[in-house]
Amino acid sequence: MENILRPLIVIGGSVLLTLIIGWATDRLMRKADERHSETPLWGQLRRARVPYQLVLCTALLRGSYDEAELLLEHRVAVGRVLSLVLIGAAAWLAIRIAAAVVETTYSRYARVHRDPARVRRVRTQVTLIMRVVAAVVGVVAVAAMLLTFPAMRAAGASLLASAGILGIVAGVAAQSTLSNMFAGLQIAFGDMVRIGDTVVVDGEWGTVEEITLTFLTVRTWDERRITMPVSYFTSKAFENWSRGGAQMTGTVFLHVDHSAPMEAMRDQLRDVLRACPAWDGRDYGLVVTDSTPSTMEVRALVTAKDADDLWTVRVTVREQLIRWLTERHPYALPRVNATDAVLPPGFPVPQRVPTGRRTHQHDHQPAARPERP
């Protein structure tokens, strides 16, 4: 009976003590979060209560399982399992604490700096730093778990002896993966592209949605996701519309007849832009950029605060100008002349001269008949 009660008392006492300590710690962090609402640190640390309690419970069981007086074969197996769980829970807790500290630092930086480009750059760096930290902690945790087995400790010398050859083989086999990892670090700290930037890659326009150590995801305007290796952005040219500021200038091209009223079109462009909320009011213009025997090319220049608003301004200007020309000045639309041209209002119409032949008195007079004798 004692062989059953002793393990139950040890396990129950450890679990109960873990719950009490976990509840007290969570209560203290909740009060600290209410007292210091300007920082999200304590709220972030509260998310780590599950791995924290798991570490406490496993540590208590690992330290007191000798008191349970288990059989020798059971004692070795239970001790090894508790060690593995303790290492895994400690790694989980370390990652959560690091995430809380990094997120708190980023939140403070975002509140102080109002420049969206700088905030996106720091956000990209923070994301990649957390991925690196998680990877390093995971590798260390797995290595510590393997070292708990005597067979792995015995093979450590041979593994270290062959580390050089294995490193060369792994480097050759994972050359593309390593290049992508270094490219990801170069993107993060070289400020080439950031999360939230508007880019054009391979003719596709979209927004950078995710950056990892190996790949980058671009969300297109039609909500498709393009996943590309990060080495693409370090080896090929691409357009970054958000670098140096989000303000942009765009153009709208129209083909009209040579008789189009340019001054009236400029006034109409101004009225259309004033009624468009996406126009930032910086600049606009309308000029003739080319001419052909049948039409002339007109370019409308518009501005906006970012790429999304610029698209809205361009489609609005194109639609409104074409509608205005159709309703007010249909003669200004491009056409193929198969009949007489329609002249603009107020244009002097020349009078046509009759093309009939004039008849003179001496023309076509009948010859005099000879008189009869």
Give the residue-averaged pLDDT of 150-168. 51
Of 210-219, 271-280, 331-340, 344-353, give the lowest mean pLDDT range. 344-353
pLDDT of residue 265: 93
pLDDT computed for residue 229 by the predictor: 81
Q: Which residues contact 212 (CB under 8 A, 6 or more apart)?
A: 128, 131, 184, 230
- Mean pLDDT over 115-135 rounds to 75
Angular region, 54: left φ>0, alpha ψ -120 to 50, beta rest:
alpha
CA distance 303 to 309: 9
Predicted confidence at residue 253, as pLDDT, reads 94
Burial of 352 (0-12, 13-18, 19+ CB in 10 A): exposed
Please compute the mean of the pLDDT values over residues 141-166 and round it to a whole number.
Answer: 60
Show the 3-state SS of 282-307: EEEEEEEEEECCCCEEEEEEEEECCH
pLDDT of 315 over the 50 cut: yes
3 close to 69: Cβ distance less than 8 angstroms: yes
Rounded percentage of the chain residues whose pLDDT exceeds 70:
70
Question: Average pLDDT in the 274-290 region?
Answer: 91
Question: Of 13-22, 269-278, 293-302, which gets the smallest average pLDDT?
Answer: 13-22
pLDDT bracket for residue 287 (50, 70, 90): very high
Q: What pTM was computed for the model?
A: 0.45
Residues 6+ away with beta carbon under 8 Å from 197: 120, 207, 208, 240, 241, 242, 243
For residue 363, pLDDT beyond 60? no
Give the tokens for residue 45: 């640390």
**pLDDT, tens digit, for every residue of 176-233?**
555 666 666 666 666 678 888 888 888 888 888 887 777 788 888 788 888 888 777 7
Distance CA 13, CA 94 (A): 26
Greater confidence (12 vs 85) lies with 85
pLDDT, mean over the chain: 75
Tens of pLDDT, residue by residue over 142-151, are 877 777 777 6
Mean pLDDT lowest for which of 57-66, 72-81, 104-113, 273-282? 72-81
Residue 252 confidence class, pLDDT cut points 50, 70, 90:
very high
Give 169's pLDDT tier (boundaries 50, 70, 90).
Answer: very low
Q: By mean pLDDT, which of 78-82, 99-103, 315-319 is the weakest?
A: 78-82
> Which of 16-30, 57-71, 178-192, 333-347 shows the highest mean pLDDT?
16-30
134 pLDDT more than 70: yes
Measured CA to CA, the distance from residue 372 to residue 118 in angstroms comes to 122
Task: Classify residue 338 as exposed, middle or buried by CB count within 10 Å of its CB (0-12, 13-18, 19+).
Answer: exposed
What's the confidence (pLDDT) of residue 353? 55
* pLDDT score at 361: 45
More confident residue, 60 or 340: 60
Q: Would you say 194 and 121 are in contact if contact means Cβ atoms under 8 Å apart? A: yes
Give the domain 248-332 fold: Alpha-Beta Plaits (3.30.70)
Between 365 and 203, where is the model more confident?
A: 203
Domain with CATH 3.30.70.100 in the chain: 248-332
Q: Which tens digit of pLDDT belongs to each residue from 93-108?
A: 888 888 888 888 777 7
* Pairwise CA distance, residues 360 & 260, whole Å: 48
